[in-house]
Structure 1
């Protein structure tokens, strides 16, 4: 029991980071989206993973060199980067969805779907997964997670109707939800890539890294693929919109600070989650991932509430709280699954 306290504490801590990083997206101005995003992904997906990994993983560069040069490991590297690349598409869609439906609803849909799909795929790929004693509890936890997401989404829809009626603006709720659903499915692939990159973490362990820090080597590879997609799209927009000069726009210091802070929160969540999942064991990526994203909804909605997103929407807000309570129950069931 005590041995499981630390990994779950790490996941709870990671959820605070995960639920907070989206705040930075509210403070992009006066930078263009593509300028802010390029700075964010460079720090979050390259500088921080390499920096933390270099400090915590003995001979990180040797691990990466062996992974990329060993023919037996190259397929692992390719798959891990591919899933990271596909997740990158989802990451871009996240940024597109927030202006349409707000941070709270976007986080609800994306985190719920990403948590469920991102846990289910690795679970079904495990040998004799349906025979595992944890299987029924994991499935129950994932189903309850989806119920919580549905309630959360309904609360966001009701809130949007009130806002639209009050302002007379045309609602983009359907468009925003479709984008968020696509983002949620693609975002699940980040955890799939992390699980598929397990041989890289094992290689790091064999070269002297402790188990929980070895996961950082896996993240470095997965996020290389994610960076290629995100940076490529940002650069495409910079060229298309001829907005390179926006990096020097007056009064952008606050936006840069938020870009850095959002990056620290974002990769801080993944790095700490990876350590917690490694300590849980082989099924850590199945149990820990939906817990991380489900609990992060509590944090993100706290910030959304503070930002006034739910002002004048008391009834939808009560429905939102109900959805969040369901997600907490799902997290408890998933936590219990590892004790079976």
Structure 2
């Protein structure tokens, strides 16, 4: 089978996990947010990345140690900064729901996260696919804008009988989502920055497809430091350590684990697909991953009733998703050009 077909299929598969993991954030109670988030972060950013990498990357730690300190530092730094965006994502879902949060965060993360890695490629403006990438990213932003407007109009309808405070909270959630989207793009930048780690893993015997997992170990270690640090801070501040032992929390723990597994499954599989795409993998694969994830997340949101009694906004949503599909097709074509 053609390598690009396999790569594209892996990114498609990853998008399902990316578009689904957020469902767990609707099942945090009765745990405190910080307790749930600490469990989720450990599964997603430490246990799975290291466990998977150890299984398929020979001499993992030796390969990582062979890379310059500056590469490791900046890869972790981008992961740490993304961690701020990840925390804001969880907060935004509580304010605005799955649809609008995914719409804003995924769109901004996809566009910014796609453009920035271009600067890691020499003479990127002379690449034959460069015009197609720019047009594809532009269409992606338009699709996200339409989706976000649909979400805002939906909220106006659903909150028409609620207090002004509810509308204020929605606006606050949108602002949080925008900030999260910009910071979330740095995860892909960290992955691009960690390309020497991938090469080192290949030199130690890992396949091109599996070597990407070594990069995630380093990037997500920085992400975990931010997420775990903030969670532990809240546990002390709110004196909520007892939340781990609250009764009837089995479901919350289950969803924390499922969300963690799905979240890293998305990154792990995406990394394998991007590696097979070559130098432009992070540039093209990333927006495809998040664009498709946005579509999948809205399917779940529709099933959850988030678009009930909002016929016109739902039509706007479908229009936005159609533009996103067009952008994804163009980005997919750009890797052939």
TM-score (norm 2): 0.98
Q: CA deviation at 1:96?
A: 1.1
Which deviations, in whole Å up to 9, do the C-alpha atoms of 1:317-336 show, x marking residues without a partner?
A: 11101101111100000000
Which residue in the other structure is 1:21 paired with?
A: 21
Distance 1:86 1:2 in 2: 36
Q: CA deviation at 1:99?
A: 1.4
Of 216, 220, 244 in structure 2, the residue corresponding to residue 247 of structure 1 is 244
Of 93, 97, 112 in structure 2, the residue corresponding to residue 98 of structure 1 is 93
Which residue in the other structure is 2:173 paired with?
A: 176
Mapped pair 1:41 → 2:41: yes
Distance 1:208 1:84 in 2: 26
Of 207, 219, 229 in structure 1, the residue corresponding to residue 204 of structure 2 is 207
What pairs up with 1:178-193 in 2 under 5 angstroms?
178-193=175-190
Which residue in the other structure is 1:57 paired with?
A: 57
Q: CA deviation at 1:168?
A: 4.2
Distance 1:124 1:22 in 2: 31
Which residue in the other structure is 2:143 paired with?
A: 148
Distance 1:9 1:257 in 2: 28
Distance 2:137 2:65 in 1: 37
Mapped pair 1:163 → 2:158: yes
Mapped pair 1:281 → 2:282: no
Q: CA deviation at 1:177?
A: 1.1
Of stretches 58-67 and 231-240 in structure 1, the one that deviates more from structure 2 is 58-67
Distance 1:210 1:312 in 2: 51
Of 312, 322, 332 in structure 1, the residue corresponding to residue 319 of structure 2 is 322
Of 248, 265, 268 in structure 2, the residue corresponding to residue 268 of structure 1 is 265
5+ long unaligned stretches in structure 2: none
Which residue in the other structure is 2:3 paired with?
A: 3
Of 83, 100, 106 in structure 2, the residue corresponding to residue 88 of structure 1 is 83
Which residue in the other structure is 1:136 paired with?
A: 131
Of 109, 121, 127 in structure 1, the residue corresponding to residue 122 of structure 2 is 127
Cα RMSD (Å) = 1.0
Q: Which runs of 4+ in 1 moved over 3 A?
A: 166-169
Distance 2:318 2:2 in 1: 31
Which residue in the other structure is 1:258 paired with?
A: 255
Q: CA deviation at 1:36?
A: 0.1
- The alignment of Structure 1 onto Structure 2 pairs a total of residues equal to 335
Mapped pair 1:228 → 2:221: no
Distance 1:63 1:280 in 2: 22
TM-score (norm 1): 0.97
5+ long unaligned stretches in structure 1: 68-72
Distance 1:222 1:202 in 2: 15
